[in-house]
Chain A
């Protein structure tokens, strides 16, 4: 008699939701504090179908305002290059510098 996998188990296995691969990116906005920074960036991200996981902002000891968004771009309507260009444009409108960086660079530089 040939060995067969338990039918119930097979069915259950197939029904398990596949873990979706996340693609995490940091968006950092640096400059002088003003109204509408989070709103402008968040609206843009919403239109590109990008999910914001976390937001943090602070005034640094040197007086610089820094806003950092942790976002998942796995379902994004744009690729990394288009995202960077789009956010650079927003940065120019807000007169702030915007950096878009895959999370791995922070993992490498700040975690051992």
Chain B
């Protein structure tokens, strides 16, 4: 036997008991070659391209799922930022129609989300970018599977506050148009957005990418928690070592599936994203890992150190396991999708301020959290701007996915259902920064951008 029973049991336990899975196989597609002066033809080209690729992606993913006995949970499509391909069809109705085309293609092919209905506006907005933001409330409330993003800053160009100032009003409108404001869960605003991130809602196919690229997101907070629980008394160096070893193994599984899937689809293999991503299933929680470190509830003092250690160990283990580590690669701490995070907020251990501090050491940012529906637009913009400033100045990706739920106040619970989970509405600082945000303009890039 080439492997010990212990090794086989370890892999089997990871999958059967600790929720190890390939969280997503996301196929990035270039849609620039679909553009046509006839909008009907353009839409047909987009529909056909997305459908044909998605169907093959699903079939091949299912085959590999069987071959290796590891679940491939989500199969998704990411496309070229839509504002780019719509430059010559710059009318609001056409933007909405394009969103509906993408939605129909995703639905017909059987993918749960299609990402890329967004724009790169870190330095300024084109007419198409501006129009895309205008139609987002309709797109997010009228389509089911279309995900949207905006990249409003980068460490070389600073942060576009004028774009950020458009987001608060847009989110309030989206919230009022969709039940429980769930449309807002499909929109994420970034700085330093990676072009090959396989995770929704922020996945898009970057302009520097080839015609098609396959990106894999692998997850396993349950696996990491299990190994931490087996090492109750070791010091931080040793703890980091055991996490690294475990993450190494799960990343290798992702690399194997990614390479084989890309080969069978006859496209280039993009990256493995080794983000620990929680689900609402008990035990599949990043907060659970932090608590297994010896912290009573995530949010307690010491949580930032714990998360920094976890993040660092995950990155190191992943980097040794694959030459194609990319995307966001780290640890997600969404509120509504993680049972431990929900418990911590409900127990009063974790507030928005500490959550922001936690995001300074981990990917990706303030994720899937609800705030009262009457939060002023400028306060929403300010929450976003604060989080994104951390990314611009520290040269890392940060993002915000905030859901202002109409009619709800701090302490209420909002059920989104399915993957999106349940969000306790968080308390927001009531003091205003309206006059500061009204200044608009661009946050100049940090001095570290001057490396040339």
Residues of A within 8 A of B (CB): 26, 28, 30, 54, 56-58, 60, 64, 66, 68, 70, 80-81, 84, 97, 99-110
Q: Contact at B11–A70, with CB atoms within 8 Å? A: no
Q: Is B256 an interface residue (CB 8 A)?
A: yes
User: Which stretch (B62-70, B145-153, B349-357) binds chain A?
Assistant: B62-70
Partner of A101, one of B6, B9, B68: B68
Docked Cα-Cα span, A57 to B9, in Å, equals: 10
Q: Is the CB of A101 within 8 A of B16?
A: no
Please give, as numbers and ranges, the residues of chain B lying within 8 Å of A68 by CB-CB distance.
1, 5, 8-9
Verify B3–A110 contact, CB threshold 8 A. yes
Residues 339 to 380 of chain B near chain A (Cβ within 8 Å) = none
A sample of 11 cross-chain residue pairs with beta-carbon separation below 8 angstroms, ordered by A number, consists of A28-B9, A54-B1, A57-B5, A68-B5, A81-B66, A84-B69, A97-B12, A102-B67, A108-B256, A109-B250, A110-B249
B8 touches A28 (CB 8 A): yes
User: Do B9 and A97 touch across chains, with their CB atoms under 8 A apart?
Assistant: no
CA distance A62 to B233 in the complex (A): 19
A30 touches B67 (CB 8 A): no
Q: Which residues of B contact A100 (CB under 8 A)?
A: 66, 69
Output the nearest chain B residue to A101 by Cβ-Cβ distance.
B69
Contact A105 B12 (CB under 8 A): no
Contacts of B129 in A (CB 8 A): none
B208 contacts A by Cβ under 8 Å: no
Least CB separation from A100: chain B residue: B69
Q: Does B196 contact A (CB under 8 A)?
A: no
Cross-chain contact B249 with A99 (CB below 8 angstroms): no
Collect the chain B residues with CB atoms within 8 Å of residue A60's CB. 6, 9
Using A28-B9, A110-B10 as known contacts, list a sample of 18 further A-B pairs with CB atoms less than 8 Å apart, ordered by residue number in A. A30-B13, A56-B1, A57-B5, A58-B5, A60-B6, A66-B8, A81-B66, A101-B12, A101-B68, A102-B68, A103-B3, A104-B256, A105-B253, A108-B253, A109-B252, A110-B7, A110-B11, A110-B249
B66 touches A84 (CB 8 A): yes
B16, A97: Cβ atoms closer than 8 Å: yes
Q: Which 4 A-B pairs have the closest CB atoms?
A: A101-B69, A108-B252, A108-B256, A54-B1
In Å, the complex CA distance between A78 and B3 comes to: 25
Contact with A along B384-403 (1 / 0, CB 8 A): 00000000000000000000
Task: Give min CB distance, A67 to chain B, whole Å.
Answer: 8
Q: Contact check: which of A56, A97, A105 meets B11 at CB < 8 Å?
A: A105
Question: Does B103 sit at the interface, judged by CB under 8 A?
Answer: no
Beta-carbon contact of B1 and A105 below 8 Å: no
Q: Which of B3, B66, B253, B255 contacts A26 (CB 8 A)?
A: B3
**B15 close to chain A: CB less than 8 A:** yes
Decide if B323 is an interface residue (CB 8 Å cutoff).
no
The CA-CA distance from A51 to B22 in the complex, in Å, is: 30
**Across the interface, which residues of B come within 8 angstroms of A109, CB to CB?**
7, 11, 249-250, 252-253
Q: How far is the CB of A6 from chain B (nearest CB, A)?
A: 39
A-chain residues with CB within 8 Å of residue B6 when the two chains form the complex: 58, 60
- A2 CB, nearest partner CB in chain B, Å: 41
CA distance A105 to B21 in the complex (A): 13
Nearest opposing residue in chain B for A70, CB measure? B1
Is B66 in contact with A64, judged by CB distance below 8 angstroms? no
- B2 sits at the interface (CB 8 A): yes
Q: Are A30 and B68 also in contact (CB < 8 A) when A57-B5, A101-B11 are?
A: no
A58 to B415, CA, bound (A): 45
